[in-house]
A and B are shown apart, each in its own frame.
Chain A
Amino acid sequence: MKRTTPRRITAALAGFALVLAACGGDDDSDATPDPEPPADEPADEPADEPADEPADEPADPPATDYEWDGSYPDPGVDDEVIKLGTSGPMSGPASAYGVITSGFNVCADYINGEYGGIAMADGVVRELEYEVYDDGYDPANTVENVRRLNEQDGVFFMTGVLGTPPNTAIIDYVEDEEFPNLFVSTGASRWGRDFQSGEYQWTMGWQPAYTTESAVYVEYLEENHPGSTVAILMQNDDYGRDYVDGFKLSLEGTSIEVIAEQTYEVTDPTVDQQVTELANSGADVFYNVTTPRFAAQAITRVGQLDWDPIHLLNNVSASVGGVLVPAGIEASTGILSTQWFKDPTDPNWDDDPAMIEYRRVMAEYGGGQDPDDPFTMFMWTQCELIKQLLPQTYPTREHLMQNVANLGALNIEIDVLLPGINVSTEPGDGYPLEAMQIVQFNGEFFETIGEPIIFDGQTADMVN
């Protein structure tokens, strides 16, 4: 009988280990995850727009000087319907973000149910249809979904396609096909950079870029803890580097200094060694650029060591239920992060009209969607955007893209964003949202601190 020698087996195991190591795990989640925040001033609205638009119903809008000849050169829109599409992880490891993807059905139901559709700039009311596909956060599936949306379903444009790797996989395709991939749900800084440089004109981001978030922390530190030293823990991939590169660029000319840096791979079982090393540096500030499991480990670990830094936790892991509670309330209390929309779990917004309306819509049209899930709110910010953008747009991709590049010139006022945070793009600025507010975990939820820190038009300077 054949015997398997230890050498053969060991070789087989080693080969498998190599494969595992090489594959890594795709758990660099990069939609903005949970969030939280706000506090002190409910109800008053960002007051800098001409206040004639109650943001509540699709307004008919001051169209720009675009001349529409009445024809439909693009697929997905006619006199009756506007067809939109999206792709995202409704199953698999990143499925926590899936409510953003599936939420677009809620958005369509709400707009059709409440208003019978959307009146575009020509005054014709069209029903909204969404094609929603699951890609399981696997870029290969995203490519397939996007081809189907373009070649078979023929949708007018896509919104909120989720994740950096999936969008990176389709960016060339949508560019070649001139197929608008709008308001992608990832904070990578490249979308805005490439849009404004003209390199990729058919993909646009939405949430504040990771680099913007880093700049917000730097400004906060410079103001409140000048001269402090920083220790950084970062996931060793594009997402981590985006955050940290932005942080370092923003540091130039400030009194803040990075004195220790550690990276980890998603295959590392723990980050204990890294955090031990960072604690050794004795830095005043710990900048925690990690995905949820590693974030929780790092928080627990800091609590065990003789180190009590100002703890900055990247928004990617700023989830109360998904990170802070598992890591331990005691160790988590006091952690700082950032937010840009009103957190449904923050009781300070309970009486806010925008929050009340949001909860009403979710109760009526939401199906199984949990209104307390910040990702539902994330989707809602995009739904509001579409609801306000389309009435100012003629049914051609040409005019759509013209508007998207000039969001600052339109009437867009999304009342679930934190007061003071506005949507704006213009020539030379491809980032729709460039402001965030510092929030602090108080043991139950994230409370807003101070005012939003705003970098309108400056994000590009913080990107390599």
Chain B
Amino acid sequence: MERFIQLVFDGIATGSIYSLVALAIVLIYRSTGLKNLAQGEMAMFSAFVAWQFHAWGLGIWLAAVLAIIASFIGGMALQRVIIRPVQDKSLLTVVIVTLGLFLAFNSLAGGIWGYIIKAFPPLFPSNVISMGAVRVPVANIGVFMVLVVLAGGLAMMFKFTKIGLAMRAVAYNMETSKLVGIRVNNVLMLGWGLACALGAAAGIFVAPKLFLDPFMMFGVLIYAIAAAAFGGLDSPFGAVLAGLIIGVVENLAGSYIGFIGSDLKILVPLFLIVVTLLFRPQGLLGHKYVVRV
């Protein structure tokens, strides 16, 4: 039983990581109608920026806040300079551009900071809570709390603010949004900025656990994409829920289902993607769109 509880807690901890990155993917999709394959690498890059600020002598929380602000600005610049010229092109074109960003950020981080892993200073106390034989690091709880706050904030923004409404409108139909007076380009820029800021937070909060290097988010992105697809690309809570489910299910399957073991763990999220596509393409909590023909 203790083993089971330990695995569930560990699953929630890794699930929180997937969810954080999935949230950023959802945010960009919800606000611009795109999905950004470079999300994980941008988060990694932002974490490096925070690490650099800290290495220059700033406190880690201040460094984190500065990096998040820098990422917000950087995200808007990226949208303006790289994404805007191709945003009217086909889905494939944009996917390829974000793939290019993926490679660019990976190499850039390697070129600037090297490939040797770095310890990222912890943002939460490093002690561990013991409940019998079950051990839960405080940092895991901290990351989970951050996740809940961010997901809640995001959902509220989309639901209750004007800018959230504008983002939804733009993502839904760019032409019509223009006609009703929404400054589409500004909204898109803002969407990228926010997604990058959120990604930065994700990178910064998971870096102490994963250790910082240019490949830190490589595996995470796969799970985050799975979480976004499984939970519903346009639903923040869906992404969070799905990320947590994937984390827990993957751990339990790896431990209790003999033939899966740790070898085939990665098939768990891929299996979930396929099942989602087959039976509920809009995802667990996603909205169903009806297209008139």
Interface residues of A (CB under 8 A from B): 1, 3-14, 16-18, 20-21, 25, 27, 92-96, 236, 262-270, 272-274, 276-277, 280, 292-293, 296-297, 304-306, 321-323, 325-328
Contact = CB atoms under 8 A, between A and B. Distances in A.
Given A96-B114, A272-B13, A5 B289 contact: yes
A96 B133 CA distance: 39
A305 B135 contact: yes
B203 interface: no
B140 to A, nearest CB: 9
A188 to B, nearest CB: 21
Contacts of B281: 5-7, 10
A322 B114 CA distance: 11
Contact of B270 (A4, A6, A21, A268): A21
A263 B17 CA distance: 21
A267 B218 contact: yes
B280 to A, nearest CB: 10
A350 B211 CA distance: 33
Interface of B: 3, 6-7, 10-11, 13-14, 17-18, 29, 33, 35, 37, 91, 95, 99, 110, 114-119, 128, 130, 133, 135, 137, 173-175, 209-211, 213-216, 218-223, 225-226, 228-229, 232-234, 250-251, 254-255, 261-263, 265-266, 269-270, 273-274, 276-277, 281-283, 286, 289, 291
Q: Which of A3, A95, A270, A325 has the most CB of B within 10 A?
A: A270
Contacts of B209: 270, 297
Given A265-B266, A274-B262, 6 more contacts: A10-B281, A16-B95, A17-B270, A96-B114, A270-B209, A297-B209
Contacts of B276: 10
A297 B229 contact: no
B173 A269 contact: no
Nearest to B287: A6
B135 A306 contact: yes
Contacts of B130: 306
B74 to A, nearest CB: 23
Contact of B228 (A13, A236, A328): A13
B229 A10 contact: yes
A395 B291 CA distance: 77
B255 A93 contact: no
Contact of B7 (A1, A10, A276, A325): A276
Contact of B10 (A6, A11, A27, A276): A276
A269 B115 CA distance: 16
A325 B221 CA distance: 27
Contacts of B282: 6-7
Contacts of A7: 277, 281-282
Contacts of B7: 273, 276
B110 A273 contact: no
Contact of A21 (B110, B137, B211, B266): B266
Given A267-B218, A293-B215, A3 B289 contact: yes
B251 A12 contact: no
Top 9 A-B pairs ranked by shortest CB distance?
A: A326-B119, A7-B281, A267-B219, A10-B229, A14-B273, A269-B219, A273-B251, A13-B225, A17-B222
Contacts, number: 173
27 contacts: A5-B281, A5-B289, A6-B232, A6-B281, A7-B277, A10-B281, A10-B283, A13-B229, A14-B226, A17-B273, A93-B115, A236-B263, A262-B262, A265-B263, A266-B219, A267-B219, A273-B14, A273-B254, A274-B262, A276-B3, A292-B116, A293-B117, A304-B137, A306-B130, A321-B116, A322-B117, A326-B119
B220 A269 contact: yes
A323 B13 CA distance: 23
Nearest to B128: A304
A292 B289 CA distance: 46
Contact of B218 (A10, A18, A20): A20
Contact of A12 (B35, B213, B262): B35
B119 A12 contact: no
A352 B85 CA distance: 63
Contact of B286 (A6, A13, A293): A6
A176 to B, nearest CB: 33
A276 B174 CA distance: 49
Contact of A304 (B3, B17, B135, B210): B135
B289 A268 contact: no
Nearest to A3: B291
Contact of B215 (A25, A96, A277): A25
A11 B91 contact: no
A272 B215 contact: no
B273 to A, nearest CB: 4
Contacts of B218: 20, 25, 267
Contacts of A12: 35, 91, 95
Given A9-B29, A11-B277, A328 B254 contact: no
Nearest to A274: B262
A440 B269 CA distance: 40
A92 B282 CA distance: 39
A20 B273 CA distance: 15
A265 B263 CA distance: 7
A344 B198 CA distance: 44
B222 A8 contact: no
A267 B224 CA distance: 13
Nearest to A10: B229
A96 B115 contact: yes
A155 B273 CA distance: 52
A263 B261 contact: yes
B225 A16 contact: yes
A198 to B, nearest CB: 34
Given A14-B225, A276-B6, A304-B128, A268 B266 contact: yes
Contacts of A321: 116
B185 to A, nearest CB: 16
Contact of B110 (A93, A277, A304): A93
Given A3-B289, A6-B234, A269 B119 contact: no
Contacts of A17: 221-222, 225-226, 269-270, 273
Contacts of B14: 269-270, 272-273
Given A9-B233, A10-B233, A292-B116, A16 B37 contact: yes
B173 A3 contact: yes
Contacts of B114: 95-96
B10 A273 contact: yes
Contacts of B273: 10, 13-14, 17
Nearest to A92: B110
Nearest to A305: B135
A89 to B, nearest CB: 9
Contact of B255 (A265, A277, A323): A277
A96 B13 CA distance: 31
